[in-house]
Amino acid sequence: MSSPQSFPLAHEDSGGLDGVIKLAIMAVGGQGGGVLTGWIEALARTRGYACQATSVAGVAQRTGATIYYIEMARTGPSQPVFALAPAEGDVDILIAAELMEAGRAIMRGFVTPDRTTLIASTHRALAVSEKIAPGDGIADASEVHAAAEVAASRFISFDMERLATENGSVISAALFGALAASECLPFPRRSYEDAIRSGKTGVEASLRAFNAGFAACSFGNVPAPPGEAQFQSVPGISGPKNLCERWENLASKVDDLPESARPLAMAGLRKVVEFMDLDYGEDYLGRLAPFASSDTGVDDHALTKAATKYIANAMAYDDVIRTADLKTRGSRATRIAREMDASPDDVLLVTEFLHPRAEEIVGLLPDGLGRRIERDARKLAWIDRWFGKGRRLRSDRLGPFILLYLLGGLKLYRRRTRRHAAEQLHIDRWLRRALEVAAKNSALATEVLCCRRLIKGYSDTHARGISKFDKILGLVERVESRPDAADWVRRLREAALKEEGSEELDQVTEAIERL
Amino acid sequence: MAERSFNTEVEDLRLGAGETFTGEGILAITKALLESGVGYVGGYQGAPISHLMDVLADAQDVLDDLGVRFEANASEAAATAMLAASVHYPIRGAVTYKGAVGVNVASDALANLSSSGVNGGALIIVGEDYGEGSSIMQERSHAFAMKSQFWLLDPRPNLPSIVQAVKQGFELSEASNTPVMLMVRIRCCHVTGQFETAENIPPPLTVRDALANPRKDFHRVVLPPMSYAHEKDKVENRWPAAESYIAEHKLNERFGPDGGNVGIILQGGMYNGVIRALQRIGLADLYGQTDVPLFVLNVTYPLVGTEVLEFVEGKKALLVVEEGQPDFIEQTVGSMLFKAGVQTRLMGKDVLPMAGEYTGHVLLDGVTALLKAAAPDMLPSRVRSPNQDAAEVPDLSKTVPTRPPGFCTGCPERPIFAALKIVQHELGEHQITGDIGCHLFAALPPFEIGGSTMGYGLGPASNAAFGAGGEKRAISILGDGGFWHNGLSSSIGNMVFNRSDSVAVIIDNYYSAATGGQDVLSSRASNPTKATNNPISAAVRGVGVTWVREIDRTYDVPRMCDVFREALTTDYQGPKVIIASSECMLNRQRREKPLRNESIKAGRRVKVPRFGVDEDICTGDHACIRLSGCPSLTLKTVEDPLRDDPVAHVDQTCVGCGNCGEVADAAALCPSFYRADIVYNPNKFERWRAGLRARTIRWLQRRREQKVLIFEATE
């Protein structure tokens, strides 16, 4: 958070505005803000209030941020003069149909501590700018929560989107329920329900979501926000007895590591064993050991923790075999049926979109043969022509399923593949470099390990990741002798994760070269 | 058919004397037209006046009963040209345009119409698209009224006032033989309220009657020497006639006390905002009773000098509240005061901003500044010396992301731009121009395609400088709406004529989608009152384009890529036109979803596609999103301590358009996407076959599970 912004408090007590209720709805186009506005208007008019609503329809609304604005007052000697748009410091009730829209309302001064009740759904509809970053570009929700606590006179928030979906309706109904429960408007609950009933479609579902929103709000029955990610450090396992015994034995070695690194190491061990076998798990712990022993314990064993995480990710690389294995597991079919909300009476057809390129095919070949083909551009092109095309496999059918099933069963053969050899070489070089650095600068070694985060995706994306990774590792030498070396590497990595291109990465690189 | 149905609203158009209309401003205007005895109506759609066109299109029966002709014009110029019927015949006509862009398009016809002058009342309704939520350049229609000499109404933004303005507009037009423009701002168009209706009046002379008895008057033709006479007629007769009508019928309104040291002259559209500012200061009550005298200009052009000077008399200071720039009204008032030797201090754009919307806060500051300067005793003490602390709220400007409008879920235009982005990755960046329409959203992330818009239907025309070709070819985008608006002649025809070596992409989504899904010539739906199903390809070939590629399913991204590659690399030197057609998803879903749900309920077999992502295969690099930006393709934070970045996730709003799978294929992205087709109410055979497959697959899975270690899912 940078410098705090300030808004003037409305400089009147109530001026000539006794009895006017000002309500703004901040929504994302397509969320049903118009329906909610219609309900509120109908509600006010049937309760003998004069009411006026405005909105901005059209292209300006399509999936973009939009505002609906409503004013109402008890009917008097003549028609009241209402404003057509919300004004800073002058909104009584602000309904935000999404968390960042609540943030936008606060930013624009529509939420002020002297008067505004903020009713916000805590769910997120991510903006395009948050989604396109190659890393984690999601805006920090806690900042909006913190600001709302300061800016609003009352802050009512919970995940109304989930509540609405669970009741087969849309968010506008849940928001309407929360508005009713907030008792900001001088109308009884029954009149809200009547307003919904006066609509034409989806009355029953809307009423269910309305009731759920009302209950969640008035009885403090607010579903808890998802807490910190909890993971089981020791997963339950099953399998042949001998394998289980070996696993127990292997898992017990994790106890040799610093305590704070153990949960991560256990997850890492599980990942590599699942990827290949117990021997590979053995290799994993072997690769981890030198980092644990050269770790001085700085920063709560940051070096060991980084090693457990990124060595596991590097060893369980994404290849055809892993993809085929994951696509043919029993748990997957269950998950898809659940996600698609399919009942047992429905039939589910599943189509996979695969586009293996020559590189992936060659990666599956034995190392020697693969290496020879890689060197021959003509052969590579030939393979690409015959095999490297988009394939749509109906994995609910037996033929395609068995093809994937057989590919997924090649785990033990994998050790002999070209891809495996290449990956191991790359891992060893990277870890060697990290260990060299660790002897002198533990923080820098941690950063070198963390750079593995850049390598992800498939084909072009993977290649771009590798090139950024190599570029940063190449720059380590330049900064190695500096006390702030770790900082520089972190900056390089963060820049690389921000965008698909490398504009920002190049800027940091230039800065380093000027040092 | 338009994206919104107005069947309920159409019933409101039949309301009789003494009944109450409840609804939006723009629909109140429609009703007022019928109450004014209008003989013909037309216009070109676009927010915020689309609803007016849509409701008229749905109200064919009502119009037929009254003998009113409704025409969906090709453009605002065409709509204005239609007002030619009011030049010679005493028939009232009304047309609508969207904001300053509509006025720009109409300006040729508008100038001719104004020169000729009218006999029947001619009313132009402009939804002034200015300020928040506007989708066009920020300009005022006011300047056009000044240059062509027609009158500009800007009524107070409530239903009774705008209804009255329609009626008075026709009378003013007839009293001064001049077309009248009625300007309503966006929020006024969509403001809801009530007014008491009157009986609809059939036109005293219908267009049918007129056709039977044609008239002409040579003196109305804009040719010398008549055009010189027209100019003189404007200033010597029409203008004074307008002024006397305005003054006599009190079109402008005065509120508040007669005396006082200060006063405010304001555009009618600013009335509610100014009253709100006064209410907040404590100088006006809820019903608009004000202590500060107001002179409300429901007619903003021309200004009646006597009215202004009478209002200003005895005042120390005057504030002109005039939204937008330049400050035409303030300059005119200043000139009036100066010439009359009045010493009143004139305030306006010195305390109010020159540019931008006059929001509540801006007006509060402006009115406060006036009072502080000229009547501090009117201000309550808390304003004169505020002693409240400002609330300090953490700055969220770096946290809250911008959220501009974009392509809807499943939009058929998305795969076109995904393909273009993929092809540009291979062949390098190209010179690309955009056009007006939904496709302009491609200029935003994640596509960032197209750097200019020069006007509706002018996409290819704005690449004319690059028409000779070179190392790379220029590409332009044109929508079906823009194509029929004027793109066929100005853009495509001229590419042929000038032997342009460029590529034009015509995006055909079966509607004028951005303006609300109205039908155009090439729409595929059958429309009872319009001739549709006229293919764009036939028109393009008709004007001489020989290189034409038609794609009838834009979601086929590999095919789209191939066609782009071909167009950019072929040896053919002439104009290359790609017509990419698929139905607007918003309209398609509106049509199909209710039918589908009904079928499922009735037990009929229905297949519904939706996409998903295998989250353990997705690596969280978001390359797929950089080729999509679909609202339903979003991110999900996974509860795996080994993973840093959120993975892609398709939420339940997915309509299964196919873009995700196609893009994964065309760009060789990653294997994590799958499409799940849920078959509701499957037949017996299907069910049996699915069961057999599932059992066999399960057997194979168990077999493998027995041989390896299985870790319980941690989720």
How far is B440 from B121, CA to CA, in rounded Å? Answer: 37
- Residue of higher predicted confidence among A1 and A80: A80
Residue length of chain B: 715
How far is B624 from B207, CA to CA, in rounded Å? Answer: 57
Selected for mutation to probe chain B from A51, A54, A498 (highest B CB count within 10 Å) is A54
B377: DSSP letter: G
What local confidence, expressed as pLDDT, does residue A1 receive? 34
- Torsion of Cα atoms, B207 then B208 then B212 then B215, to 10°: 0
Taking alpha carbons only, the member of A335, A331, A328 closest to residue A402 is: A328
What local confidence, expressed as pLDDT, does residue B469 receive? 87
pLDDT digits (tens, 9 = 90+) for B399-456: 999 998 899 999 999 999 999 999 999 999 999 999 999 999 999 999 999 878 899 9
Q: Do A350 and B382 touch (CB under 8 A)?
A: no
> In which residue are the tokens 């058929």 written?
B412
- The alpha carbon of residue B247 is apart from the nearest alpha carbon of chain A, in Å, by 25
Taking alpha carbons only, the member of B217, B239, B223, B76 closest to residue B149 is: B239
How far is B195 from B290, CA to CA, in rounded Å? Answer: 23
What local confidence, expressed as pLDDT, does residue B702 receive? 93
pLDDT digits (tens, 9 = 90+) for A162-175: 999 999 999 999 99
Q: Is residue B633 classed exposed, middle or buried when 0-12, 13-18 and 19+ CB atoms within 10 A define those classes?
A: buried
Mean local confidence (pLDDT), A410-423 = 95
How far is B672 from B664, CA to CA, in rounded Å? Answer: 9
Q: Is B283 on the interface with A (CB under 8 A)?
A: yes
Q: Is the pLDDT of residue A181 over 60?
A: yes
Categorize the per-residue pLDDT at B668 as very low, low, confident or very high, splitting at 50, 70 and 90.
confident
According to CATH, the topology of domain B414-587 is Rossmann fold (3.40.50)
Q: Is the pLDDT of residue B241 over 50?
A: yes
What local confidence, expressed as pLDDT, does residue B391 receive? 63
Q: Are B48 and B134 in contact (CB under 8 A)?
A: no
Mean local confidence (pLDDT), B379-401 = 79
Mean local confidence (pLDDT), B165-169 = 98
How far is A213 from B119, CA to CA, in rounded Å? Answer: 60
Mean local confidence (pLDDT), A482-505 = 93
Contacts of A229 (CB under 8 A, 6+ apart): B637, B639, B640, B641
Taking alpha carbons only, the member of B610, B633, B703, B683 closest to residue A336 is: B610
Second CATH level (architecture) for the domain B253-381 = 3-Layer(aba) Sandwich (3.40)
Q: Is the pLDDT of residue A228 over 70?
A: no
What local confidence, expressed as pLDDT, does residue A3 receive? 38
Mean local confidence (pLDDT), A293-307 = 93
Six-digit token string for A245:
């015994």
- The alpha carbon of residue B551 is apart from the nearest alpha carbon of chain A, in Å, by 20
Mean pLDDT taken over chain A: 90
Taking alpha carbons only, the member of B443, B428, B437 closest to residue B506 is: B437
As a whole-number percent, the residues of chain B with pLDDT over 70 amount to 98
Q: How many CB atoms lie within 10 A of CB B644?
A: 17
Q: Is the pLDDT of residue B684 over 80?
A: yes
What local confidence, expressed as pLDDT, does residue A59 receive? 58
How far is A236 from A165, CA to CA, in rounded Å? Answer: 33
Residues 166 to 205 of A: which have CB under 8 A from any B CB?
A: none
pLDDT digits (tens, 9 = 90+) for B520-546: 999 999 888 899 999 999 999 999 999
Six-digit token string for B41:
């109506």
Mean local confidence (pLDDT), A435-462 = 92
What local confidence, expressed as pLDDT, does residue A11 receive? 36
Taking alpha carbons only, the member of B158, B278, B286, B99 closest to residue A53 is: B158
Categorize the per-residue pLDDT at B381 as very low, low, confident or very high, splitting at 50, 70 and 90.
confident
Q: Is the pLDDT of residue A5 over 60?
A: no
B490: DSSP letter: I
Mean local confidence (pLDDT), A15-26 = 85
What local confidence, expressed as pLDDT, does residue A239 receive? 86
Q: Is the pLDDT of residue B287 over 90?
A: yes
pLDDT digits (tens, 9 = 90+) for B13-29: 999 999 999 999 999 99
For chain B, the distance separating the N- and C-terminal CA atoms, rounded to the nearest angstrom, is 47
Taking alpha carbons only, the member of B9, B177, B171 closest to residue B88 is: B177
What local confidence, expressed as pLDDT, does residue A221 receive? 47
DSSP string, A420-487: HHHHHHHHHHHHHHHHHHHHH-HHHHHHHHHGGGG--SSHHHHHHHHHHHHHHHHHHHHHTTSTTHHH
Taking alpha carbons only, the member of A85, A253, A325, A502 closest to residue B134 is: A85
Q: Is the pLDDT of residue A6 over 60?
A: no
What local confidence, expressed as pLDDT, does residue B285 receive? 94
Mean local confidence (pLDDT), B706-712 = 85
How far is B43 from B41, CA to CA, in rounded Å? Answer: 7
Q: Is the pLDDT of residue B33 over 60?
A: yes
Q: Is A73 on the interface with B (CB under 8 A)?
A: yes
Q: Is the pLDDT of residue B715 over 80?
A: no
Second CATH level (architecture) for the domain B605-705 = 2-Layer Sandwich (3.30)
Contacts of B122 (CB under 8 A, 6+ apart): B83, B86, B92, B93, B94, B113, B173, B179, B180
What local confidence, expressed as pLDDT, does residue A388 receive? 78
Q: Is the pLDDT of residue A4 over 50?
A: no
Six-digit token string for B455:
């006007």
Q: Is the pLDDT of residue B460 over 50?
A: yes
Six-digit token string for B185:
């701002």
Mean local confidence (pLDDT), B375-385 = 83
Q: Which residues pair with B284 in a beta bridge?
A: B290
pTM over 0.90: yes
Domain ranges for chain A: 21-218, 441-515
Task: Write down the ipTM of this complex.
Answer: 0.93
Q: Is A48 on the interface with B (CB under 8 A)?
A: no
Residues 90 to 149 of A: which have CB under 8 A from any B CB?
A: 90, 100-101, 103-104, 106-107, 109, 111-114, 125-136, 138-140, 143-144, 146-147
Q: Is the pLDDT of residue B378 over 70?
A: yes
Contacts 24+ apart (CB under 8 A), B639-643: B639/A229, B639/A230, B639/A231, B639/B714, B639/B715, B640/A229, B640/A231, B640/A267, B640/B714, B641/A229, B641/A231, B641/A263, B641/A264, B641/A267, B641/A309, B642/A264, B642/A267, B642/A268, B642/A271, B642/A309, B642/A312, B642/A313, B643/A313
Does domain A21-218 sit in CATH 3.40.920.10? yes
Q: Is the pLDDT of residue A258 over 60?
A: yes
Q: Do B670 and A461 touch (CB under 8 A)?
A: yes
Residues of A in contact with B439 (CB under 8 A): none
Six-digit token string for A382:
């030939």
Mean local confidence (pLDDT), A105-112 = 96
What local confidence, expressed as pLDDT, does residue A65 receive? 87
Q: Which residue in A15, A87, A273 is closest to B281 by CB distance?
A: A15
Taking alpha carbons only, the member of B440, B474, B481, B441 closest to residue B457 is: B481
Contacts of A42 (CB under 8 A, 6+ apart): A195, A198
How far is B634 from A165, CA to CA, in rounded Å? Answer: 17
Domain ranges for chain B: 9-248, 253-381, 414-587, 605-705
Domain B9-248 top-level CATH class: alpha beta
Categorize the per-residue pLDDT at B48 as very low, low, confident or very high, splitting at 50, 70 and 90.
confident
Question: Three-state SS for B432?
Answer: strand
Question: Three-state SS for B498?
Answer: coil
Q: Give, for B459, the enclosing helix (H) or strand (E).
A: none
Q: Is the pLDDT of residue A389 over 90?
A: no
What local confidence, expressed as pLDDT, does residue A459 receive? 82
Six-digit token string for B94:
């009304």
Q: Do B644 and A88 touch (CB under 8 A)?
A: no
Q: Which of A442-456, B236-250, B371-385, B474-488 has the lowest mean pLDDT?
A: B371-385
Is there a shared CATH topology between the B414-587 domain and the B605-705 domain?
no
Q: Do B192 and A51 touch (CB under 8 A)?
A: yes
What local confidence, expressed as pLDDT, does residue B361 receive? 95
How far is B50 from B52, CA to CA, in rounded Å? Answer: 5
How far is B298 from B245, CA to CA, in rounded Å? Answer: 13
DSSP string, A171-195: HHHHHHHHHHHHT-SS--HHHHHHH
